[in-house]
Structure 1
């Protein structure tokens, strides 16, 4: 096998470079070289981690704010949307998920009839309590200091909104009872009002 002199030189240089570099560079120099080479890569990775953490915190904070804003309006579309995102954003937090499941279970239960005021108010109070617990657990994850009492008793809703919602529920339920045959439509004959005439009746013609 013929081996040229130039090939021997090339192989020798390739094998000798690591040895020469090891002898030439001190340990500190090697660390500096690694820092120069790996520094940008590490910086990109750390930036990505920080950005992901901030994005996650922002999404969680948005859920918290939405629940706080709509905590007296459980059927609001934003409230429902925030509830549906909890399982995604807080899946690793057991306390939040447990409180979330308890609240959803309560939302799936039928409320007593509005006419049964005591039972209806008690059911709403229990529902508010479960929501308060859920919001409180989320606040702890976000390092937001807020008392459960402030969550429960806070929030402002005009009385007109509450009255309109209550009236709409009564109308819908009454109409539904009629359409499904659970309640009859009462029809009463129109009774003409009798007028007391101070004058005697007109005599009949024979």
Structure 2
């Protein structure tokens, strides 16, 4: 982590230490900040989250008040738990709060076409689908809850909702589940959104990198 921090010339890094899975893995998350950004507070929540949520409240030059950042890695197996994990976050979309929810949501972003789930082996489909009575339809409850609270998807203004970010492996179903969601108060500052697939093409990850740029001078 610190090697990457120094290579990028950034100012600080915070490791949100994740719960151990039954297979013995820990999928940690990291928040890295430039020298220009100061911390009001930061931490991690492992109690509510299958993996972890890293969080930071930031003091950013040119922004009145705090920028509230939540870095998520939601439950890949249980759609009902994903909905529970995001439920407390809706308040961050209040009119007076500038906030970002980012990360591997493990739930398909709104606007992404319905995948053909028959390509996925049956023993792993339940983590991606709505209850059996609703047929083989993607579970999007976590993203729907955040959208209903007011969060906006950074991909949509640039018509990138249909660009997959993950799950490019054999016997998997490509989908957009790595999301950058903005509160309404922050959304006017969004100026760019891109998906970079170099990590996949170079066999470094089964996820691409998702980027959004904000110009805080656009906020009044």
Q: Report the TM range for the smaller structure's normalisation.
A: under 0.3
Task: Point out the structure with the larger strand share.
Answer: 2
Task: Point out the structure with the larger helix share.
Answer: 1
TM-score (norm 1): 0.24
